[in-house]
A = this chain, B = another copy of it.
Amino acid sequence: MVKYPLGIKNKKKTTIYKNRGMDLESLINKTNQYYLDNDIAVIYKKPTPIKIIKINNKENKITSAVFGCHSTTDYNGVYKGKYLDFEAKTTNSKTSFPIANFQVYQLEHFKKVIKQDGLAFVIFELKEFGEFYLLLFKDLLIYFANNKRDSIPISVIKEKGYKINLMLNPPLDYIKIIASLS
């Protein structure tokens, strides 16, 4: 008699469980697809730059290439007219996240975005805690300006960042945080 409600419940649990198994990039891509489908925001991951060495023109096939290097961050797009730009980072550490995990060009790009009044941030996955945080890049800069360190303590990410709860769909609703900021 209670088969249907139970079925629903189980299904939900399975899906959240599935989300839990996904890596950060997949969670964000799924979230962005949800935003796109529901006209909430338009955010894309940029394609990985690839340096082509040799092309077979006859077949329009690339026969030799190497991975290039982004001069920017991984994700950007628009939410209510506002430019958003972010990077996703996963860490297994319980204590701190080394700034060296950012490429120099990413930090420079973030600074330029902030100068243009764009919204730059990092989505952190703290694997050991099973938690996700959105940290504004300007808060990251303030931390490094005031602390002569080469890493940011996880406690600071938790304190200065905004927690994103893992959900059914969208899995990581970071736009909710962006909306609450403006």
Number of chain copies forming the complex: 2
**A148: CB under 8 A from chain B?**
no
A78-94 contact mask (Cβ, 8 Å, vs B): 1 or 0 = 11111111000000000
Cα A66 to Cα B65 with chains together (Å): 11
Chain B's nearest CB lies how many Å from the CB of A76?
Answer: 7
User: Cβ of A117 and Cβ of B71 under 8 Å apart?
Assistant: no
User: Cβ of A83 and Cβ of B72 under 8 Å apart?
Assistant: no
Chain B residues with Cβ under 8 A from A79's Cβ? 116
Q: Which residue on chain B has the smallest CB distance to residue A67?
A: B60
Cα A68 to Cα B9 with chains together (Å): 39
**A109: CB under 8 A from chain B?**
yes
A35-76 contact mask (Cβ, 8 Å, vs B): 1 or 0 = 010010110101111101000000011111111101110001
Cα A36 to Cα B80 with chains together (Å): 24
Residues in A lying within 8 Å of B, measured CB to CB: 36, 39, 41-42, 44, 46-50, 52, 60-68, 70-72, 76-85, 109, 112-113, 115-118
